[in-house]
C-alpha cells in the first residue's frame, strides 16, 4: 500500500496525543506523579495539539475533505465512522475536565470521574483507529491479530514517553512513569517482532489461482499486465518496497527502540541534567522509531487487488 504522509502523520500524532492524554489523566488519578497543575495543563495542551493536528491531517487523504462529515452517518458498518464519532465524543468530557480542573481549580470526585471517562473514550478512539485496518481482509498483513494490540501499545508508549520527558524537564521526575514508559516500549518491540514473524511466515491466503478460480487446473500465470502505464490502483494498492530497504528500516526501528529503552533505564538512575537529557533522548528515539514503523506498516502491506496487476 502507498504510505501516504497524511495517514502516517494522522496515526502517529493522534496515537501519541491520546496516549499522552491517558498517561496524564490516569497518572494523576492513580498518583503516579506529583507535579504542579501547570505541568498537567501543559501536558494536556500538548495532547490536544497532537490529537487535533492528527485528525486534521487525516482529512488530507480524502478526495473531498469537505465531505468528511458524511462519514459520521455510517457508524453501524464503518470503523472509520466509529473512529470519528469516538474522537469527537472524547473532546466533551475532556473540555469539562479542563474547565473544572484549571479554571475552577477543583480537584474532586467529579474531576476524577471526568478523567476516567475521558481516558476510556481516548482508549476507545485508538482501538477504533486500529480496527479501520484490522478489519480489511483484502490486506493480509493488516487482517492480523497483532494490529490492534500494536496500535494501543504504541499509543501508550508514546504518551508515557512524552509525559516522562515533561516531568524530567520540569524537575518533577517520576520513577513510576519512567518505568511504565520503559515497559510499554519493550512490550511494543516484542509485539512488533511477533507481528513481523507472523507476516513473513504466514501462508498467502489469496493467490492468482484462488482469485481466478483456475487453481484446480494448475499454476496460473499472467500473460501481460492489464495496463501499459501505471494508474491510481497500481500506485495505491501495488506499492512495492525493496526487500533490502525493508530490512534496513526494520533494523533502524529496532535500534531506536533498544536505544530508547537504554536511555529510559539511565534516566531512572541519574537525576539532574543527565536524567533530563536521557528522558528527552528517549522521547526523540521513540518518536523516530514510531514514524519508521508506521511507514513500514503501510509500505509492506499487499492488497489482494494487486494480483490483477501481477503483484
pLDDT digits over 213-269, tens only?
767 777 777 666 666 666 666 666 656 665 678 889 999 999 999 999 999 999 888
Q: Is residue 137 part of a domain?
A: yes
**Residue corresponding to grid cell 470503523:** 79
CA-atom Rg of the chain in angstroms: 22
User: What pLDDT does residue 211 have?
Assistant: 67
Q: Along the 311 residues of the chain, how does pLDDT read in single tens digits?
A: 677 888 899 999 999 999 999 999 999 999 999 878 899 999 999 999 999 999 888 877 666 666 666 677 777 888 988 998 999 999 999 999 999 999 988 888 999 999 999 999 999 999 999 999 999 888 888 999 999 999 999 999 999 999 999 999 998 899 999 999 999 999 999 999 999 999 888 777 777 776 667 677 777 776 666 666 666 666 666 566 656 788 899 999 999 999 999 999 998 888 788 989 999 999 999 999 999 999 999 988 887 777 676 55
CB atoms under 10 Å from CB of 107, counted, come to: 12
116: CB partners within 8 A, 6+ apart: 25, 26, 29
Q: pTM score, two decimals?
A: 0.90
Position 311 scores a pLDDT of 56
CA dihedral sign of residues 310, 245, 237, 151? positive
Distance in angstroms (rounded) separating the CA atoms of residues 12 and 78: 21
Q: Is residue 222 part of a domain?
A: no
245 occurs within a structural domain: yes
What's 171's domain CATH number? 1.20.1630.10
Other beta carbons within 10 Å of 82: 22
Classify residue 281: in a domain, yes or no: yes
Contact 170, 35 (CB under 8 A): yes
At residue 186, the pLDDT reads 95
Q: Does some domain include residue 164?
A: yes
Residue span of the structural domain in which 20 resides? 5-216+233-309
Domain membership of residue 221 (yes or no) is no
User: What pLDDT, on the 0 to 100 scale, is given for residue 4?
Assistant: 81
- Torsion region of 166: left, alpha or beta (phi above 0 gives left; psi -120 to 50 gives alpha): alpha
Domain count of the chain? 1
Whether 21 maps to a domain, the answer reads: yes
In a domain, 228, yes or no: no
Amino acid at each position: 500500500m502507498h504510505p501516504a504522509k497524511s495517514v502516517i502523520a494522522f496515526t502517529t500524532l493522534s496515537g501519541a496525543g491520546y496516549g499522552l492524554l491517558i498517561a496524564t489523566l490516569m497518572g494523576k488519578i492513580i498518583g503516579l506523579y506529583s507535579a504542579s497543575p501547570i505541568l498537567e495543563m501543559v501536558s494536556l495542551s500538548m495532547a490536544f495539539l497532537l490529537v487535533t493536528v492528527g485528525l486534521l491531517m487525516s482529512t488530507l487523504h480524502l478526495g473531498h475533505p469537505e465531505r468528511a462529515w458524511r462519514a459520521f452517518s455510517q457508524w453501524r458498518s464503518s470503523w472509520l465512522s466509529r473512529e470519528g464519532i469516538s474522537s469527537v465524543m472524547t473532546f466533551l468530557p475532556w473540555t469539562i475536565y479542563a474547565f473544572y480542573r484549571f479554571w475552577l481549580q477543583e480537584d474532586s470526585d467529579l474531576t476524577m470521574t471526568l478523567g476516567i471517562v475521558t481516558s476510556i473514550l481516548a482508549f476507545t478512539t485508538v482501538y477504533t483507529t486500529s480496527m479501520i485496518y484490522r478489519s480489511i481482509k483484502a490486506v493480509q498483513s493488516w487482517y492480523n491479530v497483532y494490529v490492534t494490540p500494536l496500535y494501543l501499545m504504541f499509543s501508550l508508549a508514546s504518551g508515557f514517553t512524552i509525559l516522562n520527558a515533561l516531568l524530567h524537564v520540569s524537575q518533577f521526575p517520576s520513577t513510576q512513569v519512567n518505568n511504565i514508559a520503559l515497559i510499554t516500549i519493550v512490550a511494543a518491540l516484542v509485539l512488533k517482532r511477533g507481528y513481523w514473524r507472523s507476516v513473513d511466515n504466514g501462508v498467502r491466503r489469496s493467490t492468482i489461482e484462488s482469485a481466478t478460480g483456475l487453481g484446480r487446473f494448475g499454476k496460473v500465470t499472467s500473460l501481460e499486465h492489464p495496463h501499459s502505464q501505471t494508474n491510481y490502483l497500481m500506485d495505491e494498492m501495488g506499492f512495492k518496497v525493496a526487500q533490502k530497504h525493508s530490512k534496513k528500516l526494520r533494523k533502524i526501528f529496532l535500534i531506536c527502540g533498544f536505544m530508547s529503552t537504554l536511555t529510559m533505564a539511565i534516566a531512572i538512575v541519574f537525576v539532574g541534567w543527565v536524567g533530563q537529557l536521557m528522558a528527552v533522548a528517549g522521547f526523540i528515539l521513540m518518536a523516530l522509531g514510531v514514524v519508521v514503523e508506521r511507514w513500514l506498516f503501510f509500505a509492506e502491506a499487499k492488497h489482494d487487488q494487486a494480483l490483477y496487476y501481477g503483484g
